[in-house]
């Protein structure tokens, strides 16, 4: 069993109350030796040589934006954060930041001058040996005001905490060169698999569990920091590792009850063959129940006209389907002739009034003959309009069988398109030859009817839409 799977609250996100959390801290922390010099691979020969530094970053320690001014606590843990290794009281682990840099320590740790005028570095000792077999540690630094005993990692909330990993050589022998493996976890609001910094909702996700495997054997875990960053230190020896992101229980969609969607691969391989190795960038999207968003086919027959006028001609194109992949909505005429059985909305240059009139008459047409192709088509058409011009636009997932398993509405549309475009779809009345297809269509009709009727809150609510933020994370 992987270490470090326990409850985490990510304060980066909007809590259930809707109260916005503090923004990601500026600046960074890192470790240096007693001379304030960055050590290759963060690999030290002695615990006494490890000092806490902070500010703009090791590449430009004396310029640029640094840490916000104030008092901070620090701690040392194992890489996953499951074991507290600092042995003194937290009140003895306080540093003061001013002008973006650490300038003082209000405890008994050894303090030396930093590389920048007025800056200080603080020895991390005392801390116990890491249980990690590679001698790896994690140092954390969080504002005193954000310290939350009983939450996060010994009171340090990932979304409000800077971290850095380092190693201390176990036993004798020379220090071995290290590969610093880093990647990120981000909220992929547009679900395109890329971290689009221009999209305000695409934020780093803190406190997300990432595991690392070597030759199929678990080799450690960590959680992302306030920048959504995960870090592993491994010997630079050409070994191959597999990094795996782990969603909070019950996991990723389509697991029952899961609301996290992986928008890219959930694992990826890296080779420890360079000092800096880029790990996978993990993107996810989280869904939540969206009550009351569906509208019935009756609504789209009449009251929905202004909505369709606003998004004309997109609604026509959606009902007809793209060129080469038609939706194949069926009329109420039971016939094998597609010219008579397939309904299409008049496209441009036909006027909106003409197109809406045809649709309005179609969707409430006479279904007295029980033609399943037509009955299904009217509900599918209404769902298409809900998704294109109504109140459930964009990426939608549906609790299709009301069993907690979410499936994408897009996949449902593609599946029903297969039924409606079947050559027998125009002959699915009670006495027509395609009875098996008819039964499938009627079952699908029930599903789309529930989706469309979710506008009435007394009906089942199966529709899920993306959250604006990742929300609360629990392991």
Looking at the predicted structure, is the pLDDT value of residue 395 above 60? yes
Annotated domain spans of the chain: 28-289, 297-456
Looking at the predicted structure, is the pLDDT value of residue 142 above 80? yes
Region at 297 (left for phi over 0; alpha for psi -120 to 50; beta for the rest): alpha
Q: Give yes or no for a contact between 262 and 247, defined as CB atoms under 8 angstroms apart.
A: yes
| Residues β-bridged to residue 447 | none
The helices-and-strands tally (H runs, E runs) of the chain is 8, 21
> For the structural domain made of 28-289, what CATH number should be given?
2.60.40.10
Q: How confident is the model at residue 14 (pLDDT cuts 50, 70, 90)?
A: very low
pLDDT in tens, 239-287: 999 999 999 999 999 999 999 999 999 999 999 999 999 999 999 999 9
Whole-Å CA distances, 466 to 94, 189, 284: 40, 8, 11
Looking at the predicted structure, is the pLDDT value of residue 401 above 90? yes
The predicted structure's pLDDT at residue 208: 96
The predicted structure's pLDDT at residue 369: 78
The predicted structure's pLDDT at residue 24: 64
Percent of the chain at pLDDT exceeding 70: 95
Q: Give yes or no for a contact between 238 and 272, defined as CB atoms under 8 angstroms apart.
A: yes
The predicted structure's pLDDT at residue 8: 30
The predicted structure's pLDDT at residue 253: 97
Q: How confident is the model at residue 23 (pLDDT cuts 50, 70, 90)?
A: low
Q: Mean pLDDT over residues 32-50, rounded?
A: 95
Query: Model-level pTM?
Result: 0.88
The predicted structure's pLDDT at residue 15: 29
Other C-beta atoms within 10 Å of 455: how many?
A: 20
């Amino acid at each position: 069993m992987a270490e470090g799977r326990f409850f985490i609250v990510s304060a980066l996100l909007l809590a259930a109350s809707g109260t916005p959390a503090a923004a990601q801290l500026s600046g960074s922390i890192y470790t240096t030796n007693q001379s304030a010099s960055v050590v290759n691979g963060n690999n030290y020969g002695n615990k006494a040589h490890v000092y806490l530094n902070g500010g703009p970053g090791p590449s430009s320690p004396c310029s640029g934006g640094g840490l916000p001014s104030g008092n901070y606590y620090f701690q040392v843990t194992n890489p996953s954060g499951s074991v507290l290794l600092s042995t003194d009281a937290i009140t003895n682990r306080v540093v003061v930041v001013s002008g973006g840099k650490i300038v003082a320590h209000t405890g008994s740790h050894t303090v030396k001058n930093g590389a920048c005028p007025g800056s200080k570095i603080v020895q991390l000792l005392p801390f116990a040996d890491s249980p990690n077999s590679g001698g790896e540690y994690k140092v954390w630094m969080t504002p005193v005001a954000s310290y939350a005993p009983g939450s996060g990692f010994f009171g340090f909330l990932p979304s409000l905490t800077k971290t850095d990993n380092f190693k201390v050589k176990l036993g004798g022998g020379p220090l071995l060169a290290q590969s610093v493996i880093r990647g990120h976890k981000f909220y992929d609001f547009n679900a395109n698999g890329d971290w689009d910094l221009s999209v305000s909702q695409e934020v780093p996700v803190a406190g997300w569990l990432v595991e690392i495997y070597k030759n199929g054997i678990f080799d450690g875990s960590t959680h992302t920091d306030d920048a959504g960053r995960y870090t592993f230190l491994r010997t630079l020896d050409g070994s191959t590792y597999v990094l795996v992101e782990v969603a909070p229980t019950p996991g990723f969609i389509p697991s029952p009850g899961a609301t996290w969607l992986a928008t890219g691969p959930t694992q990826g391989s890296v080779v420890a063959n360079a000092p800096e190795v880029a790990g996978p960038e993990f993107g996810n999207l989280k869904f939540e129940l969206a009550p009351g968003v569906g509208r019935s086919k009756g609504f789209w027959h009449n009251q929905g006209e202004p909505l369709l006028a606003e998004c004309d001609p997109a609604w026509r194109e959606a009902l007809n389907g793209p060129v080469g992949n038609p939706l194949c909505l069926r009329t109420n005429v039971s016939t094998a002739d597609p010219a008579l059985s397939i309904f299409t909305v008049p496209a441009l240059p036909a006027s909106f009034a003409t197109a809406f009139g045809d649709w309005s008459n179609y969707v409430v047409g006479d279904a007295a003959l029980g033609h399943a192709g037509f009955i299904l088509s009217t509900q599918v058409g209404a769902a298409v309009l809900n998704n294109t011009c109504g109140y459930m636009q964009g990426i939608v997932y549906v609790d299709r069988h009301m069993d907690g398993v979410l499936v994408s509405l897009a996949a449902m549309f593609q599946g029903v398109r297969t039924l409606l475009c079947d050559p027998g779809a125009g002959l699915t009345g009670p006495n027509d030859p395609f009875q098996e297809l008819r039964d499938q269509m009627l079952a699908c009709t029930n599903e789309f009817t529930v989706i469309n009727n979710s506008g009435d809150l007394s009906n089942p609510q199966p529709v899920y839409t993306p959250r604006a933020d990742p929300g609360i994370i629990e392991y």
